[in-house]
Chain A
Amino acid sequence: MAATPLKNRHVLGWLMAMPLSVVLLAFLFAPIVMIAVVSFWGATEFSIYPAFQFDNYEFLFGSPVTYKVFGATLKYALITWALTLAIGFTVAYFLAFHVRSLTIQIALFLICTIPFWTSNIIRMISWIPFLGRNGIANQTLISWGVIDEPLEWLLYSDFSVILAFVHLYTLFMVVPIFNTMMRIDKSLLEAARDNGASGFQTLVHVILPLTKPGIMIGTIFVVTLVMGDFITVRFMSGSQRANVGRLISNDIALLQYPSAAATAVVLLCTVLIVIAILLRFVNIRKEL
């Protein structure tokens, strides 16, 4: 093989692209096609059978609960996005522009990743004893005299769900924004200052536009993670709230695979539409 030089550059190119294409076809494309196919199948109590029927979609779109749950999922995504963006942008700004020494920058950045040394689930569950009716938060507030009765909404509520989301996913916002900020040519900031821009004006007119691709990448991370999550919602709401992921996981638990597949297809489309809209605003290609 090696002895015969490949004259056709195209063949070589195809060969080099082959491994990745095969991996993507086998592990990304094929499973998605399978999910789409199964979503038209029928299910009995304990088995699924091939068919081409729209029952699963009919039930899905016919149930008011579906719309509510999709609404709740988008709500979680939107609120989490806004909060992680605000926190993530601030942290990244501080790291990129306030900390001058590269060593300290790296050190602080590594500190941000410390929570990732434990599992996602553990970080989430540690909130439960903290926020509970007789938890540390309530006991502290009562002992300070701020409240008389324990606050019920601290745990098993939308509040606790979003708190956990923000806690878990802010770093996914920090990293890409920080990365983009570090690439901003510092002379641009000096030019802005020389032209008489205030700090705030520099932020809004120079840094923000230049950071957009990073924000967009972070947004895609956070939005897809939140929209695909089910375990955080289950634990932090004590099973009281639902998002689409939980709908799917309930179906799977009850052996209703086709129905789960149909929900998954709709969720996938929703997420793709959201991302398509986002990409209309910012071209992230120059970041990659």
Chain B
Amino acid sequence: MAKPKVGYTRRSLLKAGGAAVAATTLPAPMLWAQDTKDIVLRQFGTGVSNLNDVARKVKEDLGFTLEMTALDSDSVTQRAATQPDSFDIADIEYWICKKVWPTGNLQAMDVSKIANYDKIVGIFKSGKLTPESEIAQGTAPHTVGFIPEPGAKTFADEQTNWMTLIPTIYNADTLGIRPDLIGRPIESWTELLNPEFKGKASILDISSIGIMDMAMVCEAMGEIQYGDKGNMTRDEIDKTMAIFTEAKQNGQFRAFWKTFDESVNLMASGEVVIQSMWSPAITAVKSRGIPCVYQPLKEGYRSWGGGIGLSSSLSGMELDAAYDYINWYLSGWVGGYLMRQGYYSAVPETSKDFMSENEWGYWFEGKEATDVITSPTGDKLAEAGEVRDGGSFYDRMGSVACWNAVMDENQYMVRKWNEFIAA
């Protein structure tokens, strides 16, 4: 889909025309309308935010074409690391960024061109949700969110003008359960290995995320005290895997899942009653009329965040279009769309304008729904009077115990994971 490059850049034209004043009043680069319709940006990422509705809206609002490809987390990592020319925009998670950034396939973004930068929640900047918050373990987004200067392959310790990923979407994950098939309250991560659910439990087969769920369980059981769950020692990895391998051999797990759809099917069909799950998967099960709860647990949440990164090969008009896209992404429409699915937007206050008061109250503030809550695609998710599992944004994101992580001993962990799957 290579399109012919035009022989000038927007900036040189602006300079030549002496229109620099106009540019400063509009921090977002504005493109020449007649050219934008030919621009195609190729975005790939995990299924969670690669939504056709977003591509459609981009065409409507910004004029250019966004091509979406949805892959599983491992394939996303692989593609970002090995095929830099196959994409313009990478929609990846922060832990993937930690793995992929050193390859040099992504370019840092100029924070001063991001209109809503100041409104981005603290988690992605200082690491703190509120000034008093404690930073959770694991690959917290702010630790891989900035680099000291363009071209650097290591991350900066504090905020700089160069951002690796523009945060777009994040959430606090926990276990999903089928309350109708379990019939009693579930309060702790330990329940995943409770023999009561033998043959009816599942975890996800994506090592970087699965190991964190495992760690939450082992720590909750009191079997292992981790120095840092997000950066385990070999010994801690061995112990964690040993506990889960034993459970696996005793038939605790019905199946492992790798893609979003698999997790939905396992839960909806009743093959599994308790498993690691992602928020929209719960939504998908519920919208089939099957009861499913995203159970808050006393040990806290395992959290993750995703963002948009730019391919290092982007330049000229496409790069400007990508900045336009990012500014548009943070301006609220997408945020509202994602929040109505149960995710959080990086700039919640702009999303508020795109949600009804009832929706904002239910999804963000943890209030009782005053009316029926529907998903962006029109499925009914909650009745009036229901409250979101886990409560408000600050309740949920405030009790994050760890972030999805890539550890120093990642290669060792990966081999052990492979053994666990094969065991």
Contact = CB atoms under 8 A, between A and B. Distances in A.
Nearest to A254: B414
B13 interface: no
Find the residue from A43, A251, A255 having the highest chain B CB count within 10 A.
Answer: A255
A65 B422 contact: yes
Contacts of A253: 74-75, 78
B253 interface: yes
Nearest to B271: A133
A251 B418 contact: yes
B78 A156 contact: no
Given A45-B410, A65-B419, A134-B269, A255 B81 contact: yes
A68 B418 contact: no
A239 B414 contact: no
A230 B255 CA distance: 16
A283 B258 CA distance: 45
Task: Give the dominant DSSP class at A's interface.
Answer: loop
B103 A46 contact: yes
Interface string B39-53: 000000000000000
Interface in B372-403: none
B269 A250 contact: no
A125 to B, nearest CB: 10
A62 to B, nearest CB: 11
Nearest to B98: A45
Contact of A46 (B81, B248, B269): B81
A246 B421 CA distance: 9
Contact of A152 (B75, B102, B199): B199
Contact of A45 (B78, B256, B411): B411
Contact of B269 (A63, A69, A132, A237): A132
A201 interface: no
B164 interface: no
Band of interface residues on B: 35 or more
Interface string A30-64: 00000000000001111100000000000100010
Given A45-B99, A46-B99, A134-B269, A65 B410 contact: no
Interface residues of A, number: 34
Interface in A245-286: 246-247, 250-256, 259
B239 interface: no
Contacts of B149: none
A66 to B, nearest CB: 8
B259 to A, nearest CB: 11
A134 B200 CA distance: 13
A240 interface: yes
A63 B415 CA distance: 10
Contact of A240 (B253, B415, B417): B253
A239 B255 CA distance: 6
Given A132-B271, A133-B270, A255-B77, A69 B422 contact: yes
A2 B99 CA distance: 59
Interface in B59-104: 74-75, 77-78, 81-82, 99-100, 102-103
A254 B75 CA distance: 8
A47 B103 contact: yes
Interface of A: 43-47, 59, 63, 65, 68-69, 128-129, 132-135, 152, 155-156, 237-240, 242, 246-247, 250-256, 259
13 contacts: A43-B411, A45-B406, A63-B415, A128-B265, A129-B269, A132-B269, A133-B271, A134-B270, A242-B421, A247-B418, A254-B207, A254-B414, A254-B418
Given A47-B81, A68-B422, A254-B414, 11 more contacts: A45-B406, A46-B102, A65-B423, A129-B269, A134-B270, A156-B255, A238-B254, A238-B255, A239-B258, A246-B422, A250-B418
